[in-house]
Amino acid sequence: MNKHRKRDSWFLDDYSVNPYEGCSCNCLYCYIRGSKYGENMSETLAVKSNALGILEKQLASRAKKNQYGFVAVGSGTDAYIHQEKEKKMTEGMLRLLLKYRFPVFISTKCTLITRDIELLKEIDKTAILPDDLKNKMKHGVVLSVSVSTMNEKISNMLESGASPPLQRLQLIKKLKEEGFLAGVNAIPVLPFISDTEPELEKIISSAKEHNADYILVGGLTLFGKEKADSKTLFYKFLDRYDASLLPKYQKLYGENFYTSFAYQNEIKEKADRLCAKYKIRNRILE
C-alpha cells in the first residue's frame, strides 16, 4: 500500500494499492504505458501473490496509529479486470480493508464489481473516515466508472477489454440503487474527439440520466516515444481513426506529455457550464 504525500484532491484517497500489474482493459492511452508493462498489458499480467500478507501488516500498523484514509484500490490497474473473477485478489484486499475499517475508492470500467456489492456495503457502513472528512461525508466507499467517450466504436478501438460506455453508466445506476455514493470519471476526455461541447454534453447528460452523484472531467496525458508508450500507441490509433487529427495532436502536445494550461482551463470551463446546466456536481464532496 502506497501512502501519498498529500490527499488526492479529486478522488480523496490518501493511499493506493494495486492487486495486479497489468490490465485486461488494455486502454491504449493508459498513463501506465511507457513503463515495464509492455505493449499489450493484458498479456503481461502479474498477480501479486504475497500482497495480502503485506497489506494486512500495513493496515494493522496504520490502524493502530489511527492513520485512516481512503484507499484507492486499483490505481495502476482496474481492480476488476477479467482475471479477478478467478484470482480474487481485489476481493481479498477488500476483506482486509473491511477488517481494519479503512474507507475505499474504486474506479472501474468492468461490471464484475457487482460481485462485491455486499462486501462494499459493509465497508461503507463500518469504515472510519479521516478526522477532517467526518463532517463532510457520510460514506466509507466512493465508486466511479471511467468514461472517455460515449462513442462505442472509438471505445472498442481504445479500450478493447473494457465494458461498453453505456454499460458502465448503467452500472452507476445499479450502484446508486444499492445506496452507494457513485459517479463518473470522464477521464481522460480526448482532444478533438470527446472534448468538444456536444460530445462532453453527451457524457455529462448521460451521467445525470443514470443518477450519478458527480462527474469529474480531466484531460489526456500521453507518455513516451517507444513503441509500447501511450503517445506512440495513441498516435497509431489516430492514424487509423482519423489521420487529419495527427497534426493537431502534435501541435497540442509537442514534446510534452500534457497539454497547455490554457487548454486545460478551456476543458474545465466547458465542463463547469455543462455541470451547471444538468445540475450535477463536478466534485465528489457536496
Residue 46 lies in a domain: yes
What's the rounded Cα separation, in Å, for the pair 264 and 266? 5
Under a CB-based contact definition with an 8 Å cutoff, are residues 148 and 187 in contact? yes
The arithmetic mean of pLDDT across residues 31-43, rounded, is 52
Q: What is the mean pLDDT of the chain?
A: 92
Residue 83 lies in a domain: yes
**pLDDT tens-digit series, residues 53-109:** 999 999 999 999 999 999 999 988 899 998 899 999 999 999 999 999 999 999 999
**pLDDT tens-digit series, residues 12-30:** 999 999 988 777 777 887 8
pLDDT tier, 45 (very low <50, low <70, confident <90, very high otherwise): low
What was the pLDDT predicted at 40? 43
The beta strands (E) that lie in the chain are given as 2-3, 13-17, 20-21, 46-47, 70-73, 104-108, 141-146, 181-186, 215-217
**pLDDT tens-digit series, residues 248-263:** 999 999 999 999 999 9
The arithmetic mean of pLDDT across residues 168-189, rounded, is 97
Residue 206 lies in a domain: yes
Residue 257 lies in a domain: yes
Residue 74 lies in a domain: yes
Domain of residue 221 covers: 2-278
Instruction: Name the domain count of the chain.
Output: 1
What was the pLDDT predicted at 108? 96
Residue 269 lies in a domain: yes
pLDDT at 241 over 50: yes
3-state helix, strand, coil in the chain (%, to 5): 45, 15, 40
- Residue in the structure block whose three cell numbers are 490502524: 63
Residue 286 lies in a domain: no
Closest CA to 82 of 21, 139, 23: 23
pLDDT tier, 38 (very low <50, low <70, confident <90, very high otherwise): very low
What is the domain-level CATH number for residue 144? 3.20.20.70
Cα→Cα distances 80→20, 89, 109, 186, Å = 10, 9, 8, 18
Residue 16 lies in a domain: yes
What was the pLDDT predicted at 42? 44
